[in-house]
């Protein structure tokens, strides 16, 4: 793995300034949540920083790069190419930054859609992306507070926000988000949390 400084520097050259600042804010939020929920702070830090490394790749290049890196493209990702930056980002994280840690790579892969049986780190990165300090949408402050009280409740709320938003756009919903919500609800029922 490259050192944090080298990752940071290389990432800056791969992203627009806005996207880079967002990455730093996600890193910071991820560290706070990791500390709160007893997750490895360093892993959260790196995953948060790098999660969007594929975000500024032009759309017309995404398919080629996905093919090159062996990212499996389902129907929905083919139609909504922006979704590719999660799994592709995980491949680039390995290739460009030498990150071998599977937990970090998994969190990067799932950060846009979520997925079944997410690890605590996966949940933290997904949520941090949603509630970092620069985000400003109706209900974000409530979600930010909730994230520090009840990680799963906040995660569920953010899945539902996403689903509602995608529906309102008449856009395509990625099945992973449905799987993520279902598996989270089943888990919460088992724990008596819902």
The answer to whether the beta carbons of residues 88 and 168 sit under 8 Å apart is no
157 vs 154: CA distance, rounded Å: 5
The answer to whether the beta carbons of residues 90 and 70 sit under 8 Å apart is no
Spell out, one character per residue from 74 to 103, where the chain touches other proteins: x when CB under 8 A holds, - when not. ------------------------------
Interior angle at CA 32, CA 121 and CA 44, nearest 5: 35
Binding flag, residue 141, other proteins (CB under 8 A): no
SS3 139: coil
Shortest CB 132 distance to other proteins, Å = 10
Question: If binding means CB under 8 A, how many residues of this protein chain bind other proteins?
Answer: 17
Question: Hey, what long-range contacts does 58-66 have (CB within 8 A, 24 or more apart)?
Answer: 62/88
Binding flag, residue 148, other proteins (CB under 8 A): no
Nearest to 84 by CA among 44, 105, 112: 112
User: What residues from 26 to 65 belong to the interface with other proteins (CB under 8 A)?
Assistant: 28, 31-32, 35, 41-42, 45
Pick between residue 42 and residue 160 the one whose CB is nearest to other proteins: 42
Pick between residue 38 and residue 192 the one whose CB is nearest to other proteins: 38
Ramachandran quadrant class, 117 (left: phi over 0; alpha: psi -120 to 50; beta: rest):
left
Question: Which residues, in sequence order, are CB contacts of 48 under 8 Å at separation 6+?
Answer: 23, 26, 27, 28, 29, 30, 31, 125, 128
Shortest CB 1 distance to other proteins, Å = 10
User: What residues from 112 to 131 belong to the interface with other proteins (CB under 8 A)?
Assistant: none
Binding flag, residue 145, other proteins (CB under 8 A): no
Pick between residue 42 and residue 95 the one whose CB is nearest to other proteins: 42
User: Using the rule CB under 8 A, which residue among 8, 128, 162, 176 binds other proteins?
Assistant: 8
Binding flag, residue 140, other proteins (CB under 8 A): no
188 vs 192: CA distance, rounded Å: 6
Query: Which parts of this chain interact with other proteins (CB under 8 A)?
Result: 3-6, 8-9, 21, 24-25, 28, 31-32, 35, 41-42, 45, 133
């Amino acid at each position: 793995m490259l050192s944090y400084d080298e990752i940071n520097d290389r990432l800056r050259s791969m992203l627009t300034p806005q996207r880079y600042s967002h990455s730093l804010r996600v890193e910071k939020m991820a560290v706070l949540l990791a500390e709160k929920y007893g997750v490895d702070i360093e892993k959260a830090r790196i995953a948060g920083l790098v999660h969007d490394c594929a975000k500024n790749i032009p759309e017309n290049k995404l398919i080629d790069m996905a093919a090159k890196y062996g990212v499996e493209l389902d129907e929905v990702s083919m139609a909504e190419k922006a979704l590719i930056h999660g799994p592709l980002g995980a491949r680039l994280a390995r290739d460009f930054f030498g990150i071998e840690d599977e937990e970090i790579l998994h969190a990067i892969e799932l950060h846009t859609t979520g997925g079944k049986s997410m690890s605590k780190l996966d949940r933290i990165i997904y949520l941090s992306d949603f509630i970092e300090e620069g985000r400003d949408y109706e209900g974000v402050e409530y979600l930010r507070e909730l994230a520090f009280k009840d990680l799963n409740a906040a995660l569920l709320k953010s899945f539902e926000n996403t689903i509602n938003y995608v529906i309102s756009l008449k856009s395509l919903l990625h099945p992973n988000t449905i799987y993520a919500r279902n598996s989270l609800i089943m888990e919460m029922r088992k724990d008596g949390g819902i």
